[in-house]
């Protein structure tokens, strides 16, 4: 015997929320893949300075997002199917998966908040090391010059700060073009600032998506338990 009345409304409401959850999983998966293959981050984070690889903390977070998006799509499908079939077993499994996902999201959110500045800091340190090598060492003996030029061309910047960025083109035009001085008169072209902008913008995007998904998950956990109880009560009669 199927559910009736308000419980039936909850059934279809849960189906709608699960469909939105499934779509959200697909969006997160798509955004994560875009961030993974974004030309700016890829150009920078694939760099190698001697034996030292560019910091990969950002990519670790992206791979976690890809996994979360894929799991969300699976759990969303499970919830839709369980709601339509009015299966207590599937709804119970769906609720358990949501609790695990929610706990993982909270843990990831705490980790991200604690380390939100660390990614940009690591990349800036990597850039500073390459910049020093490019200025002081023979360009033929290391790849510091190539690393620095990639940063400058990708982020449209020159030097770790505005002062150095202004002076560098005057005596090292192989690192920054002399034409770059024109841009310095209009905007701050500090590479440190550009690195902060690059990663902070992407982290805010991830944070907004996580908050939206968390709210949907809370509603789904409530609705799935209410529907599960309604199915149990209707089977008694």
> Is pLDDT of 159 > 60?
yes
pLDDT at 51: 66
Residue 142 has pLDDT above 70, yes or no: no
Smallest CA-to-CA distance from 41 within 208, 194, 161 is with: 194
DSSP state at residue 93: H
The residues pairing with 48 across neighbouring beta strands, listed in sequence order, are 53
CB 86 within 8 A of CB 231: yes
Residue-wise pLDDT tens digits, 63-79: 888 888 898 899 889 88
Say which CATH class 6-235 falls into. mainly alpha
In angstroms, the CA 28 to CA 15 distance is 20
Averaged pLDDT, 167-174: 52
Structural tokens at position 76: 């969303």
Question: How sure is the predictor about 188, in pLDDT bands with cuts at 50, 70 and 90?
Answer: low
pTM over 0.85: no
The residues spanned by each domain of the chain are: 6-235
Higher per-residue pLDDT: 122 or 158 = 122
Inter-axis angle of helices 191-236 and 6-37, to 10 degrees? 160
Within the chain, what is the greatest distance between any pair of CA atoms?
A: 87
**Residue 111 — very low, low, confident or very high, per pLDDT cuts 50/70/90?**
confident
């Amino acid at each position: 015997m199927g559910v009736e009345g308000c419980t039936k409304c909850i059934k279809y409401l849960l189906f709608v929320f699960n469909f939105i959850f499934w779509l959200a999983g697909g969006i997160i998966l798509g955004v994560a893949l875009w961030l993974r293959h974004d030309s700016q981050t890829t150009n920078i984070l694939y760099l190698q300075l001697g034996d030292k690889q560019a910091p990969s903390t950002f990519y670790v977070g992206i791979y976690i997002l890809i996994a979360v998006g894929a799991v969300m799509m699976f759990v969303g499908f499970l919830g839709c199917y369980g709601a339509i079939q009015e299966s207590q077993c599937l709804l119970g499994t769906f609720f358990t998966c949501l609790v695990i996902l929610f706990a993982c999201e909270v843990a990831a959110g705490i980790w991200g908040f604690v380390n939100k500045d660390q990614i940009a800091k690591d990349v800036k340190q990597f850039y500073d090391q390459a910049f020093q090598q490019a200025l002081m060492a023979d360009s033929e003996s290391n790849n510091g010059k190539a690393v620095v030029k990639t940063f400058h061309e990708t982020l449209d910047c020159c030097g770790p700060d505005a002062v150095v960025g202004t002076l560098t083109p005057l005596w090292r035009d192989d690192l920054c073009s002399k034409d770059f001085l024109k841009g310095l008169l209009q905007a701050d072209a500090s590479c440190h600032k550009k690195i902060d902008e690059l990663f902070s913008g992407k982290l805010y995007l991830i944070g907004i998506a996580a908050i939206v998904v968390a709210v949907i998950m809370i509603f789904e956990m409530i609705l799935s338990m209410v529907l599960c109880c309604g199915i149990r009560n209707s089977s008694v009669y």
